[in-house]
Amino acid sequence: MNNRLKIGLRPRPKLGLAGVISDSALTKSPTAPPSRPSVMQAPVLVLNATFEPINVTAVRRALVLMLKGVAQAEETNHAEVHSTSKAIQVPSVIRLLSYRHIPQQSRALSRKNILLRDRNTCQFCGHAFPASELTLDHVMPRSRGGRSSWENLVACCYMCNNRKGDRTPEEAGLQLQRRPRPFTLHTSRQLMRLIGHRDEKWRKYLFY
């Protein structure tokens, strides 16, 4: 940490699923490969009651919907999650039990949706990370009038965030992987197709 302060880098925030990560996680070598995402963060395809694909969520959220009786698993993975009384297979595809009207509009601006739009990938170095190892960066710094908007926020790893600092990408010698845009239904469907190519269980539902 002292070395980081000497060269002018901001200390890395202690963020994680519970708001804090351990000190051991902060002492990892910057050259070490990214840690493997938790099974609870794996993507799950969400179908409407009509079997129309409408969303991509995480295993954690999918299990909550199933336990509440809102959805049921249509496809599962080999992994299991355990409680004190039973084991549940991790879903790959779930279906809502009642039809939901999906408005044709952009999603709410949030950290979760920015990371989903950017596929948990740092938009400067191009490497994928678990959500807990990513932050959001203002392409045009807020100190220069940059707004918190879809067009000015991108997913960013802590190393690139420290390197960029309070500068534009050009001033920091960084280049955006892609131009940030709002998260629309079209974006969501593109993500479904992309993940569907890697998960055979999804393919038969991506019929649109």
Phi, psi at 24, each rounded to 5°:
-65, -35
Same domain, 131 and 194: no
Query: Which residue type is seen at 163?
Result: R
Whether 169 and 188 share a structural domain: no
Q: Alpha-carbon distance 126 to 139, whole Å?
A: 15
User: How many domains are there within the chain?
Assistant: 2
Residue 23 pLDDT:
35
pTM of the entire predicted model: 0.53
Residues 144 and 167 in one domain: yes
My answer on whether 117 and 74 are in the same domain is no
Same domain, 153 and 196: no
pLDDT of residue 117: 87
Indicate which CATH number applies to the domain containing 132.
1.10.30.50
Instruction: Determine the residue type at 87.
Output: A
Q: Specify the long-range contacts of residues 18-26, CB closer than 8 Å, at least 24 apart.
A: 21/132, 26/1
The two structure tokens encoding residue 167: 């500068």
> Looking at residue 111, what is its pLDDT?
92
User: How many other CB atoms are found less than 10 A from the CB of residue 97?
Assistant: 12
Which residue in the block uniquely carries the two structure tokens 């595809």?
93
Segment-wise mean pLDDT, segments of 10 residues, the chain, 208 residues: 46 39 37 60 91 88 95 92 85 95 73 88 96 95 94 96 95 94 74 73 78
Q: What are phi and psi of 12, to 5 degrees?
A: -70, 130
Are 79 and 113 part of one and the same domain?
Answer: no
